[in-house]
Amino acid sequence: MAYSDKILKKSIDPTVHQMLARAQELGLETAWDRYEAMLPECGFGELGVCCRNCNMGPCRISPFEDAGPKRGVCGATADIIVARNLIRMIAAGAAAHSDHGRDLAHTLLMTAEGKGGGYEIRDEQKLQTLAAEYNISTEGRSKEEIALDLAGAVYAEFGKQEGPIRFSRRAPRKRVDLWQKLGIDPRGVDREIVEIMHRTHIGVDNDPVNLILQGLRASIADGWGGSMIATEISDVLFGTPKPTRSLANLGVLKADEVNIIVHGHEPTLSEMIVAASRDAELLALAAKLGAKGINVVGLCCTGNEVLMRHGIPIAGNFLQQELAVITGAVEAIIVDVQCIMPALGNLTGCFHTKFISTSPKAKFPGAIHIEFHEDQAYDIAKEIVRGAVENYRWRKPGQVVIPDEKVECLVGFSTEAILAALGGSLEPLLEQIKSGAIKGLAGVVGCNNPKVQHDFGHVNLVKELIRNNVLVVTTGCNAIACAKVGLMLPEAAAQAGDGLKVVCQSLGIPPVLHMGSCVDISRILTVCAAVASALGVDISDLPVAGAAPEWMSEKAVSIGSYVVSSGIFTVLGTVPPVLGSTAVTELLTTGAKEAIGATFAVEPDPFQAAQLMISHIEDKRAALGL
Give the annotated binding-site residues for [4Fe-4S] cluster: 42, 50-51, 54, 59, 74
Find all residues with CB under 8 Å of 579, minimum gap 6, and list them: 46, 47, 48, 63, 585
3-state secondary structure (DSSP) of residue 548:
strand
Which residues have a Cβ under 8 Å from the Cβ of 417 and sit 6 or more positions away?
240, 241, 242, 243
Bridge partners (DSSP) of residue 443 are: 473, 546
Separation CA 211–CA 209 (nearest Å): 5
Contact between 104 and 229 under an 8 Å Cβ cutoff? The reply is yes
Annotated binding site for [Ni-4Fe-4S] cluster: 265, 301, 339, 447, 477, 518
Q: What would you report as the CA-atom Rg of the chain, rounded to the nearest whole angstrom?
A: 24
Phi first, then psi: what are they for 11, rounded to 5°? Answer: -160, 160
Among the residues of 410-497, which ranges form H helices?
A: 415-421, 427-435, 456-467, 476-484
Map residue 189 onto helix, strand or coil: helix
Buried b (16+ CB within 10 A) or exposed e, 276-298: bbebeebbebbeeeebeebbbbb
What single-letter amino acid sits at 433?
A: I
The 8-class DSSP code of residue 265 comes to S
In this structure, the strands spanning 59-60 and 50-51 are antiparallel
Report the binding-site residues.
42, 50-51, 54, 59, 74, 265, 301, 339, 447, 477, 518
Q: What angle do CA 263, 312, 261 make, to 5 degrees?
A: 30
Q: What is the DSSP string of 278-333?
A: T-HHHHHHHHHTT-S-EEEEEEHHHHHHHHHHH---EEE-GGGHHHHHHTS--SEE
C-alpha closest to that of 238 among 127, 154, 145, 158: 127
Do residues 81 and 59 touch, judged by C-beta distance below 8 A? Answer: yes
**What DSSP string runs through 381-418?**
HHHHHHHHHHHGGG--GGG-------EEEEE---HHHH
